[in-house]
Structure 1
């Protein structure tokens, strides 16, 4: 079953559904973590829940590593100066290159805190990539792990078990791990592996041509992550991920509403596709060996600046140069037009 089916159950019904059964959860994002902990709390070590996942990602025990709020490390303009940005000029490009050692240092600073607070090495959960890689791509889906002790206690008592694998197959009593032929008995297998957003967008069009426009790319090509250049009558809100999806989606809705009011006009199809290509290149460089999803990554402020410029809003939302560069940006900074 898919995790959506499980999540649709009432709490008591879900608990009775998994009680006394061996459960395998495929996927180790936020949904997979939540489901596995629920199963472990119901069944304990007598019927352990097994999480099957492909690779490790960084998990944050709290938002203030070594006492410094993460927002000051990753959600202000200074942090974005350390990153190469789509459409940046020569000076910003040079600055990001010169400051790259600082970005590496910030990443190692956060990683050292996580390793100190969580027993990742004990359970072979130390990622092989940097924290910045996850922060850039949102590939973990779960930068924050609430109540981490509950999860690691469940690992300790073996009510949750972990198995890394690139693939598996089913057999009559459960699943078989392809790499080492390990057989895991399971009466329930829950797929917490995300959602096929591209497929859903493709199917809303009767036109096969429009469907091809959506599916004919490695990600859905949206200008400003809202408008398809060749289907400008359709706006998509919330498809591309960010760290703060709620307020970024609200900014996109405001941008679309302002477009409909005629405050600004869309560029030519060619110009929009060039801009999309620049963001594509950024995502590919950010993810490296990992498959990249549609995400604005570590550039929320840079992205919001583009929306504000289109809408005729001021890009600098705080009072004073110091605040604009070093203070974290969030929803309240974009309330006024």
Structure 2
């Protein structure tokens, strides 16, 4: 259990518009800019707003485990299992993700990380102290697709 000042749960469409309505004015364009992409470290924390978390806004339909893994990552952060890097390092990480998406997906207009998600998931696992190689043998690591069962807690 974590004490929180506010928990905002939103379902459905138009998430960008919902966020603009709930966030204080200084953060509205910072969090959800004109590109409709959120610059979130590990898909969860905006580097300039470290006391606010977004789980589920950055989605990928091909990776059903993403939100659950991000919830576990956020829980680990709140429990103090690891610390966030510097703002500069987080901004560099987010910029690197955006560059990878520009080069690897035609869906850049929406934040789709399907081609980047294994790397992203490995980073969250490493932060949590979990194994980044999830298959158990190198042949499966190279050739078998990842799925939600690969990210069960161990």
TM-score category (smaller protein): 0.7 to 0.9
Higher Cα Rg: structure 1 or 2? 1
Cα deviations across residues 229-271 of structure 1 (Å, max 9, x unaligned)?
1111111111112134532110010000010000000011111
Deviations 1:5-38 (A, max 9, x none): xxxxxxxxxxxxxxxxxxxxxxxxxxxxxxxxxx
- 1:107-156 deviation digits (Å, cap 9, x = unpaired): xxxxxxxxxxxxxxxxxxxxxxxxxxxxxxxxxxxxxxxxxxxxxxxxxx
| Cα distance per residue 1:94-117 (max 9 Å; x no partner) | xxxxxxxxxxxxxxxxxxxxxxxx
The answer to whether structure 1 residue 222 and structure 2 residue 40 are counterparts is: yes
TM-score for both structures, normalised by structure 1: 0.40
Match of 2:5 in 1: none
What is the alpha-carbon distance in structure 2 between the residues aligned to residue 274 and residue 255 of structure 1? 20
Name the structure 1 match of 2:9.
none
Give how far 1:306 is off.
0.8
* Superposition RMSD in Å: 1.9
Q: Output the CA distance in 2 between the equivalents of 1:266 and 1:235.
A: 12
Aligned match of 1:257 = 75
Aligned-residue offset at 1:217: 5.1
State the match for 1:201 in structure 2: 19
Aligned to 1:333: 150
**Any conservation in 2 of the 1:226–1:236 contact (CA below 8 Å)?**
yes
Higher strand share: 1
Cα 1:291–1:247 shift into 2, 3 Å: closer
Aligned partner of 2:141 in structure 1 is 324
What does residue range 1-337 of structure 1 map to in structure 2 within 5 Å? Answer: 195-205=13-23, 207-216=24-33, 218=35, 219-287=37-105, 292-337=109-154
Deviation at 1:307, TM superposition (A): 0.7
Deviation at 1:330, TM superposition (A): 1.0
CA distance in 2, matches of 1:267, 1:212: 23
Quote the Cα distance in structure 2 between the aligned partners of 1:286 and 1:318: 24
Whether the 8 Å CA contact 1:317–1:334 is kept in 2: the answer is yes
User: In 1, Cα distance between the equivalents of 2:34 and 2:75?
Assistant: 27
Tell me the TM-score normalised to structure 2 length. Answer: 0.82
- Residues 317, 245 of structure 1: CA spacing in aligned structure 2 closer, same or farther, 3 A cutoff? closer
Query: Unaligned regions of 5+ residues in structure 1, if any?
Result: 1-193
- Secondary structure of 1:232 counterpart: strand
Q: Is the 8 A contact 1:283 1:292 kept in 2?
A: no
Judging changes above 3 Å, is the alpha-carbon distance between structure 1 residues 212 and 292 closer, same or farther for their aligned structure 2 residues?
A: closer
> What is the rounded CA distance, in whole Å, between the counterparts of 1:315 and 1:215 in structure 2?
30
Residue in 2 aligned with 1:128?
Answer: none
What SS does the corresponding residue of 1:246 show, helix, strand or coil? coil
Give, in whole Å, the separation in 2 of the partners of 1:202 and 1:267: 27
Q: Which runs of 5+ in 2 are unaligned?
A: 1-11
